Amino acid sequence: MDVNLINLIEKYGSDDNKCREYLETLKWMGAVKCPRCGSEKISRIKKRSQFDCDACRYQFSVTAGTIFHDSHLPLWKWFLAVYLMAESKKGISANQLKRSLNVSYKTAWYLCHRIRKAMQEVVPSPKLTGIVEVDETYVGGKYDKRRKRGPWQKQPVMGLLQREGKFEARTICNTEKKTLHGVINERINKGVEIMTDELPAYKSLDKIGYNHDAVCHSKKEWVRGDIHTNGIENAWSLFKRSIVGSYHQISTKHMDAYLDEFEWRFNGRENPYLFRDTLMRLLNAPKMEFKELIA
């Protein structure tokens, strides 16, 4: 189903039973299974939206042990939150979510972080291949007028974009050659064609098994044939706009989580099932305690 806000509301409205049924379909495809013993001999306890395992007598619901668990928030508000986070091009802040869903700031904040957590790639995906654009940038950091603190306070972030493929980004401790090469070795297959700008740290990529091409931005060279970093610069500008437009400021502590959220949305930008796939992630990601978030 290609979801927009209208058909989301038409389909689920504020009906928690409909939301629950959909989650049950996503989780079990009609064959309910006991999460404890794996038995498929299950009875439904109608009134409590619970199931009872005939084999081990364990009682459970579709949200047991998932990120939805222990939440007092109705499922239909979860659905709206997932929709807003997955489908808003520039993301949505906890403050905006608070207003849209008419919940407390704390609830909205918790909701954002839990959904963001579910968007994280759990298993490392295969290494990138084909043609990969690599670039680093600085994000966040506030200019402090009194102390005249400048951009050096910003968080360096490194991104890799496989053309016609996936984008990934992470925070890095510095932009030295050792750091950048480390990430490239870890995430990009040898022999791959890598496109960067003229940063000296990228210069010796040829020596460690890559085909390296660079454009010289300082000489106002942006494109030479198919050598350019336009794809990744587009990703950066979207990410930065989402920070300015929605989050205003991101603490370094949570930066990787925001990057994960952005990756999920960016890589899913042409996926008509992004809403459904995000719900699937929520059903399959381990639950998360409030303590974990504020630690």
Closer to Zn ion by Cβ: residue 58 or 222: 58
Q: Is 181 in the site for Zn ion (CB under 5 A)?
A: no
Q: Is 56 in the site for Zn ion (CB under 5 A)?
A: yes
- Kindly tell me which residue out of 34, 134, 235, 283 binds Zn ion, with binding defined by CB under 5 A: 34
- Kindly tell me which residue out of 1, 4, 14, 37 binds Zn ion, with binding defined by CB under 5 A: 37
Instruction: Give me the least distance between CB of 43 and Zn ion, in Å please.
Output: 11
- Kindly tell me which residue out of 11, 18, 33, 36 binds Zn ion, with binding defined by CB under 5 A: 36
Instruction: Give me the least distance between CB of 184 and Zn ion, in Å please.
Output: 47
Q: Is 50 in the site for Zn ion (CB under 5 A)?
A: no
Q: Residue 195 is encoded by which pair of tokens? A: 């496109």
Instruction: Give me the least distance between CB of 50 and Zn ion, in Å please.
Output: 13
- Kindly tell me which residue out of 53, 108, 134, 158 binds Zn ion, with binding defined by CB under 5 A: 53
**Residue 181 in contact with residue 160, Cβ under 8 Å?**
no
Is residue 198 classed as helix, strand or coil in its secondary structure? coil
Q: Of 17-25, 36-44, 81-89, 110-118, which part binds Zn ion (CB under 5 A)?
A: 36-44
Q: Is 58 in the site for Zn ion (CB under 5 A)?
A: yes
Strands (E), the chain: 42-45, 50-53, 59-60, 131-139, 155-162, 167-171, 193-196, 211-214
C-alpha torsion 14→19→21→23, nearest 10: -170
Q: Is 55 in the site for Zn ion (CB under 5 A)?
A: yes
Instruction: Give me the least distance between CB of 59 and Zn ion, in Å please.
Output: 9
Burial of 25 (0-12, 13-18, 19+ CB in 10 A): exposed
Angle at 84 between CA 50 and CA 245, to 5 degrees: 150
CA–CA separation, 34 and 27 (whole Å): 12
List interacting residues with Zn ion (CB under 5 A).
34, 36-37, 39, 53, 55-56, 58
